[in-house]
Amino acid sequence: MSDNTFNKVQFVTIDEASAGQRLDNFLLKTLKGVPRSHIYRIVRKGEVRINKGRASVKNRLELGDQVRIPPLRLGEPKSRHSPSRHLQEKLQTSILFEDEQYLVINKPSGMAVHGGSGISHGVIETLRAMRPKQKFLELAHRLDRDTSGCLLIAKKRDALKDFHDIQRLGQVDKKYLALTDGNWGKKTSMEIDVPLKKNTLKGGERIVEVDAEGKNAITRFKVKQKFRSSMLVEATLVTGRTHQIRVHLKYAGTPIIGDDKYGNPEANRFFREKGVTRLFLHAHELSFKSAISDNMIHCTAPLDDDLQQVLKRLVG
């Protein structure tokens, strides 16, 4: 694998370092230089196999599995520049919690969780550059690029697996704050339970829509503060679908301010004059009981100063 060409079929046996990874993440690391879209394509076509059987990108690899990788030409590896000192310092000051298993940061808005699509360094690449001696650092979950707030990184593979296990059991509490266009009148809470489905528009843009054939999605909302033509709501995720809060609030008739994909353009322009220059969505609480240490981990990320100033102006 030292050159950039797989001239023939390769069979890779999964060791302890790779056990537990999803197939797509394993291939992205192994086939450096190959676009994510191409990796998904060769898996979908059945060219990548696990133990001689067809595979899905979501398959978790187990110790001793044999992965078939087809012949392919890898792109020349891009020159790797270290993340800027400013970026590293920004993340260092954003750390909310750390122990031997996990790291929680208050992710800045506008920063992707990982590189790709023209982005050289996301959160995970920057953290790895900051901690070259740390053998394992992986995202435990994701946030949209424009969403700020609590983001969990696992420092050990067993910690990552345990977090995913308790998340599947619904034992992770995630709360978000969002400012909406419009309010619900006298209502102070609402549970939205409508299925969501990912779709691709003709222009290639990916979008999530309410669809009876989609996956179940449940969000509980509580009104924290009402304003004349908007409200601040706290959203608790019961499920964790892509863009779930954003699409559910649009479905409720109160899209998030600053949402260029699902929001109201006219309202976004109005609130831009009041200082909302980004998506007003913030992951402000993350709580779960570590299955390894048996400790309760609870992190709160305060709203960024610019968002707090907007709320003060709305009250005034």
Question: Which of 304, 258, 307, 302 has its CA nearest to residue 278?
Answer: 258
> What tokens appear for 313 in the block?
């102006």
Q: What angle do CA 60, 219, 164 make, to 5 degrees?
A: 20
Any idea which residues carry the catalytic annotation?
A: 144
Task: Identify the H or E element spanning 159.
Answer: helix 157-168
> What tokens appear for 253 in the block?
């008739």
Cα–Cα distance for residue pair 189/233, rounded to 1 Å: 9
Beta strand 281-289 pairing with 148-154: parallel
* Ramachandran quadrant class, 117 (left: phi over 0; alpha: psi -120 to 50; beta: rest): left
Are 180 and 223 a contacting pair, CB within 8 Å?
Answer: no
- Give the sign of the dihedral formed by CA 183, CA 107, CA 204, CA 54: negative
Residue corresponding to tokens 């700020």:
148
> What tokens appear for 205 in the block?
């843009």
Cα–Cα distance for residue pair 232/271, rounded to 1 Å: 14
> What tokens appear for 287 in the block?
């709580």
Residue corresponding to tokens 């006219």:
266
Tally the residues of the chain: 316
Burial letters 190-203, b for 16+ CB under 10 A, else e: bebebbbbeeeeee
